[in-house]
Structure 1
Amino acid sequence: MNAPAGFADILIEDRGAVRIIRFNRAGKKNAITRAMYTAMAQGLETAETDKAIRVVVIAGTDGVFTAGNDLMDFMEAPPTIGGGDMPPVERFMRALLGATKPVIACVDGLAIGIGVTLLLHCDLAYASDRSTFKTPFVDLALVPEFGSSAVLPGIVGRVVASELLLLGETWDASRAEAKSLVNGVFPAGDLEAEVMKRAEALAAKAPNAVKKSKALMTKGVESVYTLMAEEGAEFAAQLASEEFKEAVTAFLERRPPDFSRFG
C-alpha cells in the first residue's frame, strides 16, 4: 500500500492496481473546495497515464461521502463552465468524463449536490444502507450541473428525476438502488470491502478489453460536454441573480428562503 499523497483534504492511495481518491474533510462534511477539485482531477489524470493503475475508486470518510460544494469557497470564485480559464470543478468534471479506465463510487452516508451527480458518470456505484442522496440545486436558486439535466432522466426517467432535480427530495439508499442510481447497497461496515472486491476483480480483467468496452458504452460523451457548457452558462447566470442572493442569505441566517417576490 502506498502512502497517501496529494492535498490534505483529498487522499490518494494506490492499493495494487486500484487507486482510491478519498474526500478527507470530515469536519466540514467533505464539502469540496477548489483545491480539492484540483487534487481529484490530478488523481484521475495521473491514473490515466499510470499503466499500473487499472481502476479508480472515489470514496469518502466514515458516514459522509460529500456535502457538495463548499458554498463560501464557491462564492469566492464562481466558476464559469466552458468559458476561458478552466475552473477546478470543470477540470475535475472533464477528467471524470474522459476517464478511459473504470471508476467506481463508494458512497457511505451523506451525498449532496455533485456528490450525487458525479455518480452518473461513474461506471459502477455502491452505497451503504445509511446513505442519503439529495440535489438541492433549485432550493439554492441554481440549476443542475455536470450533464445531470439529461443523464439522470435517461437513467431513472424524467418524472422520477424531477423528485431530485426539481423537488430536491432526499432519497434513501433503497430508493437509490431501486431507481438504478447505485448498483447495490451494503451494511456500512462491509461497504468498502465489497467495493474493493469488485474493483480488484475488474482490475484483473484484460485491460484493453475493459477500456474498449467502456468506450463503446460512453460514445455519447461529447454531447455531455456540450450540455455541461449550456448548464454552466445558466448556472453562472443564476449565481448573479437576486434569487441566489436570497438563497445564500437565508442559508447563512438559517431560515427558509422567501422567493415570493420573484417570478
Structure 2
Amino acid sequence: MSSGSVAAIIAAAGTGSRFSSDGKPKQFFELNGYPIYIWSLLSLSTMDDIGRVVLVSRESLLEEMKETVDSVFAGRGLGVSRKKIQLVPGGDTRQESVRLGLASLAAAPPEFVLVHDAARPFLTHALVQAVIEEVTATGACTLALKVSDTIKKVESGAIVETLDRSNLWAAHTPQAGRYLWLREAHEQAASSGLTATDDAMLLEGTGKRVTIVESRAHNLKITVPEDIDRAASFSDILGQINDYAESNANIKS
C-alpha cells in the first residue's frame, strides 16, 4: 500500500477540565518520560503505511508542542517520521478539531484516514495495522472492546432496564474511514449543528456501515488522574512502542 493513501489525525485539543483543577491539558502530563500525546505520535508516525499525521490542538499550545515534538524526534533519530507530522490549530470541541484536521488534508487528500484520541497513549502498531487492513477492506471501521460488565439503563437514580451485553461494544480509537466519507460526515454535521460522541457515529448518520476491529484492554483512555495510576500497569506497552521507534530510526534515519 502506498503511504500516501493513509493519513492519521490525533485529536489533542482537550481542556483537561476533568483531569486537573488548574486546567492543564491531560495530554501534557508525562507518562514514562514523555507528554501523553507523544506516544500516539510515535506509534502512528513510525508506521510505513501512514504517510501523514496531523496533530490537532489548541492554537495557544501549538508552539510548545512543536518544540517538544522536534526535540523528541530529533533526539531519537526519527527525522523521516517527523517530516510526516503537521500541527494544526483545533476548535472548541473534539468534533470541530477533527473537522479542521480533515480540512488540512484537502489539498492532497489521502484515500483513508485514522482518527485517534491523544488520551489513548497505549496504541500498539499491531492495533494500528489491524485498523488499516480493515478500513481498506470495508471503507469504515472502529476499534472497540466487547463489554464484559452488565450494563444498566438508569433514570432518576433507579434501574429501568438491564441491557443485553452480548451485542454491546465500547468504542475505542483509532476510528477510520475513507477520507471523502469522513469529510462529508463532518461537514454535514457542522452545517446541521449535529453533535456526535465519535466519528463512527457521524459515519453511521450518513448511512455508512462501520465495522468492528477488536481492541485490547490496554488501549485505555486517560480521563481522570486515577487513570495515570492504572496506566502504570501497561508500561510494557510503551516499551513495545519505544522498541518499534528505535528500529525505525536505525533503518530510516
Does TM, scored on the shorter chain, surpass 0.5? no
Query: More strand per residue: 1 or 2?
Result: 2
State the structure with bigger RCO (CA 8 A, min sep 6), 1 or 2. 2
TM-score (norm 1): 0.31
